[in-house]
Amino acid sequence: MSDEQQSSGWTGGKNAFGDLAPGMVHYTDRVLFDEVWEREGLSKRDRSLITVAALTAMGKTDQLKFHLGFARQNGVTDDELQEALLHLAFYAGWPNGMGATTVLKNIIEEQD
């Protein structure tokens, strides 16, 4: 997708890196969020659940801070996220499940 084409308006890469890493900004904003996340093959809700599962399995709690919140915006309920993280703990390792659940707990408490 060129800059002239329709964009989702995603600026997360630009917000995170500014002018420091133009390649990372481009691939995050234009490719990942403008192209991959906008594909018709899966809903954004399903993409969020898959992303949460992958990040949990890898123990990437720094990225989960964003993606758990994004999953909530994409229609995944807190109860569904809690259940998904419990399920993942058995397949991705208890420490990864506990770490992800702690991130979700902090997100929920910050919004209360």
Ordered by start, the domain boundaries in the chain are 8-39, 44-111
Pairwise CA distance, residues 18 & 12, whole Å: 10
What whole-number percentage of the chain has pLDDT above 90? 66
Encode 28-51: b = buried (16+ Cβ within 10 Å), e = exposed: bbbeebbeebeeeeeebeebbbeb
How is domain 44-111 classified at the CATH fold level? AhpD-like (1.20.1290)
**Whole-prediction pTM:** 0.84
Taking CA 64 as the corner, what is the angle to CA 2 and CA 16, rounded to the nearest 5 degrees?
45
| Mean pLDDT of the residues in the chain | 89
Q: What is the pLDDT of residues 49-69, one digit of tens each?
A: 999 999 999 999 999 999 999
